[in-house]
Amino acid sequence: MNQQTNTEARQGKAKTTKTTFSRETSVSTTIGADPVIVWALLTHASDFPRWNSTVTSIKGEIREGETIELKSTLDEKRTFKLKIKEFVPEKRLVWGDSQGSRVYTIDKGSGNRVSFTMSEKIGGLLFPLFASYIPPFDQSFEQFAVDLKREAESIQKAKE
Amino acid sequence: MTTDQLITEFETFQGELKSFLLRMTASVQDAEDIVQDTYIKAQAKIHTFRGDSSLKTWIFSIASNLARDLLKSKKRWPETVTDICREEVLGNRQFIREAIHISQTSPQGHFEIKEHIAFCFTCVSKSLPLEQHLALLLKEVYGFKVTEIAIILNQTDAMVKYYLHVSRSRMIEVFDQRCSLINKQGICYQCTELNGIFNPKQKAQEELARIEMARDAENKSKQELFDLRMKILQELDPFESGAAELQLHHLEHNRQIMENYLEENK
């Protein structure tokens, strides 16, 4: 039973796909910055709250195999313990727990441009029981993409 | 390049190099040792210098590597370094006696608020991650370009830009929250407090009126105030200034306190 939303996958616009046993939200945007800068922003844990208005804090190191503790504006009372599952510099970062994974991908375009995508799929057999307690991610994802784009492009444009 | 040419050129920026290393290590001894080791290493490797960068960039690269080797195993200082050290100073009569003696007898013992602003930055910037600290000083105080810093740190231009942006943002935030010279709500007023010990009150007001960062604090943006703070550092040689002996004595005291503090708070 699919309840797919009809949201257009426009630049910076989040798209959510729902099934009975899962929900997946994704957002994509083009960023005018070197992938090194985008990757640095995504992997320096303690610096996240400075530029990313959707993250309250991240404790720990974003490195392959490490576990981080993330607090987000989606649910400020909760601390998410997330394992870094994949860490491919300047290309792909995956973190998550037993309920789902967040995937960040960076595709280098021409010049100093990258295509950035962030997606998160949560689900499992018990998903229908707790689905109604999980807030929608769309707005938070869109804000994340806006913040990342603004910060990365601001760094890229800095005077030499 | 011949050894004679190396000596001649090295001498033109040796002072800057030493001051850069002091601001990285917070130790006169370490700064002097690294300057010497840098020269020895440069002399031994001068045949490998191809002129792809300036000699100054190449030398700063050697020195930065040596500083990095020394500092990488040491913990970074906390942003509250000046608060922690102030508490210790209050209970250390010997330090106060020595400082007053220096101020009364040394030609380089004249306390100036401007000098303390530079001293304060040296301490607080040691809270930045090491690579960010190196990049920030090289760019904001010693005027290297991003491409030159990329050579010195063996990083990409993009990564250097990231370091500079993050470190600058962090320092702007820290000083905006702490420094009472630029923010009336700031919790740190040590420069004026120390001025009260070493100089009459009138002198503080006169001096603050001459320091653009303090005088125009309400009319300038955080970015501009940070640039003015950096201008103060650019114009001061911590080894040659009128307060050098007093400030270096204070810096050594802070360094020792920090080493003990970090050891006790492992």
Task: Note whether ipTM > 0.90 here.
Answer: no
Contact A155 B147 (CB under 8 A): no
**Which carries the bigger pLDDT value, residue B90 or residue B148?**
B148
pLDDT of A8 over the 70 cut:
no
pLDDT of B127 over the 80 cut:
yes
Domain contains A1: no
Interface test mutation site (partner A, options B148, B161, B163, B170, max chain A beta carbons within 10 A): B161
Q: How many domains does chain A have?
A: 1
Domain contains A79: yes
Residue positions counted in chain A: 160
Tens of pLDDT, residue by residue over B168-185, are: 999 999 999 999 999 988
Residues of A in CB contact (< 8 Å) with B are: 33-37, 40-41, 44, 47, 50, 154-156, 158, 160
pLDDT of A9 over the 60 cut:
no
With b for 16 or more beta-carbon neighbours within 10 A and e for fewer, the A109-129 pattern comes to eeebebebbbbbbbbeeebee
- CATH assignment of the domain containing A85: 3.30.530.20
Beta strand pairing status for A22-31 and A55-59? unpaired
The pLDDT, as a whole number, for residue A6 is 39
Per the structure block, which two tokens stand in for B1? 């390049």
CB atoms within 10 A of CB B229: 23
Asked if A38 contacts A115 with a C-beta cutoff of 8 angstroms, the reply is no
In this prediction, residue B92 has a pLDDT band, given cuts at 50, 70 and 90, of confident
What value does the mean pLDDT of chain B take?
93
The pLDDT, as a whole number, for residue B202 is 67
Domain contains A5: no
Domain contains A69: yes
- What is the extent of the structural domain holding A51? 18-156
Q: How many angstroms away from the CA of B133 is the closest CA of chain A?
A: 15
Interface test mutation site (partner B, options A34, A61, A112, A153, max chain B beta carbons within 10 A): A34
Q: How many angstroms away from the CA of B132 is the closest CA of chain A?
A: 12
In this prediction, residue A99 has a pLDDT band, given cuts at 50, 70 and 90, of confident
Could you say which of A40, A50, A158 has the minimum Cβ distance to residue B159? A40
Contact B164 A158 (CB under 8 A): yes
CA distances from A17 to A88, B14, B48 (A): 26, 63, 59
The pLDDT, as a whole number, for residue B205 is 82
In this prediction, residue B209 has a pLDDT band, given cuts at 50, 70 and 90, of confident
Looking at A73-77, A110-114, A142-146, B222-226, which range is the least confident one?
A73-77
Q: Which residue of A has its CA nearest to B164?
A: A155
Q: What is the mean pLDDT of residues B187-216?
A: 84
Tens of pLDDT, residue by residue over B224-254, are: 999 999 999 999 999 999 999 999 999 999 9
Asked if B9 contacts B27 with a C-beta cutoff of 8 angstroms, the reply is no
Domains and CATH numbers, chain B: 1-74 (1.10.1740.10), 75-264 (no CATH)
pLDDT of A10 over the 80 cut:
no
The pLDDT, as a whole number, for residue A4 is 43
Q: B90: which strand partners?
A: none
Burial class (CB in 10 A: 0-12, 13-18, 19+), B264: exposed
Contact B158 A34 (CB under 8 A): yes
Tens of pLDDT, residue by residue over B17-75, are: 999 999 999 999 999 999 999 999 999 999 999 889 999 999 999 999 999 999 999 99
